[in-house]
Amino acid sequence: MLNLPIQAKTAIITGGAGGIGKAISLKLAQAGVKIIIFARDKMKGKNTVEAINSGGGEAFFYHTDLSSSKEIDQSTKQVINLFGNVDILVNNAAISGYMGPVVETPLADVENVLKVNLISIFHLSKLILPKMIENRFGRIINISSVAYRQSPPNSATYNISKGGLNILTKTLSKEVASYGITVNAIAPGLVLTERILTSRLPGLAKKRGITQDEMMKELTAGTDTGKLTKEEDVAELVMFLASDVSGNITGEIINVSGGL
Ligand X SMILES: NC(=O)c1ccc[n+]([C@@H]2O[C@H](COP(=O)([O-])OP(=O)(O)OC[C@H]3O[C@@H](n4cnc5c(N)ncnc54)[C@H](OP(=O)(O)O)[C@@H]3O)[C@@H](O)[C@H]2O)c1
Q: Which is nearer to ligand X, 86 or 190 (CB)?
A: 190
Span 19-38, contacts to ligand X by CB under 6 A:
19-21
Encoded amino acid at 84, one letter: G
Exactly one of 116, 121, 127, 132 binds ligand X (CB under 6 A); which one?
Answer: 116
Task: Judge contact between 175 and 168, C-beta under 8 A.
Answer: no
Check if the beta carbon of residue 184 is closer than 8 Å to that of residue 241. Answer: yes
Please list, in sequence order, all residues whose beta carbon lies within 8 angstroms of the beta carbon of residue 109, skipping any fewer than 6 positions away: 97, 98, 157
Q: Contact, 259 vs 242, CB < 8 A? A: no
State which of residues 9, 30, 31, 41 lies at the interface with ligand X (CB under 6 A): 41
Q: How far is the CB of 208 from ligand X (least distance, A)?
A: 17
* Active-site residue, from 62, 98, 158, 179: 158
Site string for ligand X, 217-256 (x = CB under 6 A): ----------------------------------------
Q: Is 158 one of the catalytic residues?
A: yes
Work out how close the CB of 53 gets to ligand X at its nearest, in angstroms, rounded to a whole number: 18
- Please identify, among the stretches 51-59, 60-68, 99-107, 122-130, the one whose residues bind ligand X according to the rule CB under 6 A: 60-68
- The region of 46-54, 59-67, 81-89, 210-218 touching ligand X under the rule CB under 6 A is 59-67
Is residue 196 a contact point for ligand X (CB under 6 A)?
Answer: yes
> What string marks each residue from 70 to 109 as x (binds ligand X by CB under 6 A) or -?
----------------------xxxx--------------
Number of residues that bind ligand X (CB under 6 A): 28
Residues that bind ligand X (CB under 6 A): 14-15, 17-21, 39-41, 44, 64-67, 92-95, 116, 143, 145, 188, 190-191, 193, 195-196
Catalytic residues: 158
